[in-house]
Amino acid sequence: MAKRGLQRRFAEKPEGQAGCTGLVTRLQLCTASIEENEWKKLDVSPERQPEEPDRLDEEPQQPLEEETVPRPGRSVSLWVRRVALALAAIFILPYALVLLYALPFLHPISTLMLADAALLRGYDRRWVSLDEIAPVLVQSVMMSEDGQFCAHGGVDWVQMRGVVEDALEGEATRGASTIPMQTVKNLFLWNSRSFVRKAMEVPLALWADFFWSKERIMEIYLNVAEWGPGIYGIEAAARHHFKVPAAKLSRRQAALLAVSLPNPITRVASKPGRGMQRLATVVERRANGSGEYIRCLYD
């Protein structure tokens, strides 16, 4: 009887309890019941539990970048830097072109030619080698423009010193440009006279004389020099003024072309005035006795 009573007590559920006693299965049911009651308190069903994101697959959000407003001082500094780089490139370009123009098959053009082309005016220039130019023309130009061409290294410092002294004393300055200086001026600079241009011209002339032979300097000069409106180079000049090629120029014609070089717009070789005739006579006489001065070109 006692044994049956004990079994009946374990089989019956005590009042006020949820049936979560003793056995493992009842403990599991109890745990589930408690979890369900907790979700009900939160008003969320177990099926609608928020799932944890897969943190391995989810890409981390990048912080929003703040919009940067350029500061006025910074933009001005950037503008100044760009201008400085542009000026540096313009300054360096002629020196690079001097190296390039040392190649004998290249035929450089002058800034005046570029201006004529840009303004759609056109120009006449026919490149010829130094061997295709009458020696009397070379002699006349050298004795008229730069008698010490074979002796100096691009700049005639004796003449340059005299120009500087005259300028410091307030006197009118005379020309001291050598053929190398005129060549680089025609190729890379402008025509108006100024100390700024001269300051750029001198180192360029020294640079060109160092890398170019005397023959190359004279050849380029005679092929880019202006001999009238839209007339560039000795071949075009000889044909325009005297209807002959540069190889067939006479001594007188060569002297007239040489003395017209400082100002070919007002000094027309084919229509010389009395003053121009006198200068041509002087140049012609100097050219006849120029043997020692032109050794660097004609042995």
Please give the Cα distance from 88 to 93 (Å, whole number).
Answer: 9
Please say if the pLDDT value at position 243 is more than 90. Answer: yes
Please give the Cα distance from 182 to 164 (Å, whole number).
Answer: 18
Q: Which of 14-18, 134-138, 173-177, 221-225 has the lowest mean pLDDT?
A: 14-18
How confident is the model at residue 219, as a pLDDT? 98
How confident is the model at residue 13, as a pLDDT? 45
pTM, to two decimals: 0.73
Task: Say which CATH architecture domain 88-290 belongs to.
Answer: Orthogonal Bundle (1.10)
Please say if the pLDDT value at position 249 is more than 90. Answer: yes
Residues 48-92 pLDDT 10s = 555 554 544 455 555 555 555 556 667 778 888 888 888 888 889
How confident is the model at residue 127, as a pLDDT? 97
In sign, the C-alpha dihedral spanning 150, 214, 261, 132 is positive
How confident is the model at residue 17, as a pLDDT? 44
Let me know: does 281 contact 255? Beta carbons within 8 Å. yes
User: Domain map of the chain by residue range?
Assistant: 88-290
Please give the Cα distance from 281 to 275 (Å, whole number).
Answer: 10
How confident is the model at residue 203, as a pLDDT? 96
Residues 182-195 pLDDT 10s = 999 999 999 888 88
Let me know: does 262 contact 174? Beta carbons within 8 Å. no
How confident is the model at residue 29, as a pLDDT? 59
Q: What is the DSSP string of 121-167?
A: ---EE----GGGS-HHHHHHHHHHH-TTTTTSSSS-HHHHHHHHHHH
CB atoms within 10 A of CB 116: 19
Mean pLDDT of the chain: 82
Radius of gyration of the chain (CA): 47
